[in-house]
Structure 1
Amino acid sequence: MADITLYELPGCPFCAKVRSKLDELDLEYDIIEVPRTHGDRTEVENVSGQTGVPVITDEANGVDGMNESDDIVEYLEETYGERAT
């Protein structure tokens, strides 16, 4: 099990943006696909307090339920990218 978990909806362009960054940085991560219906997204709501995706958790850095694709990509770059060194 990886430290990073991505909650996503297949076909979501914002989720794809986050996946691309995770792959670009060659990070290991787990994926949890959320249901299409917001009312059925209890697992992601429990993690992040809302039902939108993408959402990530990063156990290694104490990140629980970060949302907004731009914020996630920036976090990943700052934490794991070239700027992190």
Structure 2
Amino acid sequence: MIELYRLRGCPYCRTVEQKLDELELEYKSHNVSLFRFRRSAVKAVSGQSGVPVLVDPEHDVSGMVESEDIVAYLEQTYG
């Protein structure tokens, strides 16, 4: 299952969520802390603390960052 690490109120995260919803993809959402130093789970999967971060084990994606890249990936893979 696709996983999305997100921060509430983040417009970049919302863009990715809208694409996931548009493509009718099931995904698990992980809300992360507002404080970057408390984002150890995000850092573990992506090597950095920014969000959004997408994990798609079915296609060996283990920590994609940057909302534009994520949206392009989703469109190309599932669109």
Does TM, normalized by the shorter one, top 0.5? Answer: yes
Residue identity opposite 2:45 in structure 1: V
**Residue number in structure 2 paired with 1:41:** 39
Q: Could you tell me how far 1:51 is from its partner in structure 2?
A: 0.2
Scaled by the length of structure 2, the TM-score of the pair is: 0.99
Cα displacement string for residues 3-35 of structure 1 (whole angstroms, at most 9, x for unaligned residues):
100000000000000000000000000000011
The whole-number CA distance in structure 1 between the counterparts of 2:66 and 2:37 is 19
Q: Which segments of 5 or more consecutive residues in structure 2 lack a partner in the other structure?
A: none
SS at match of 2:48: coil
Structure 1: give runs of 5+ residues left out of the alignment: none
Pairwise CA RMSD: 0.3
Per the normalisation by structure 1, the TM-score is 0.92
3-state secondary structure, aligned to 1:31: strand
Identical-pair percentage: 54
Segments ≥4 residues shifted beyond 6 Å? none
**In structure 1, what residue type is equivalent to 2:55?**
T
Which of structures 1 and 2 has the bigger CA Rg? 1
* Count of paired positions: 79
Aligned to 1:20: 18
Give the counterpart of 1:65 among 60, 63, 66: 63
**Local SS of the residue matching 2:3:** strand
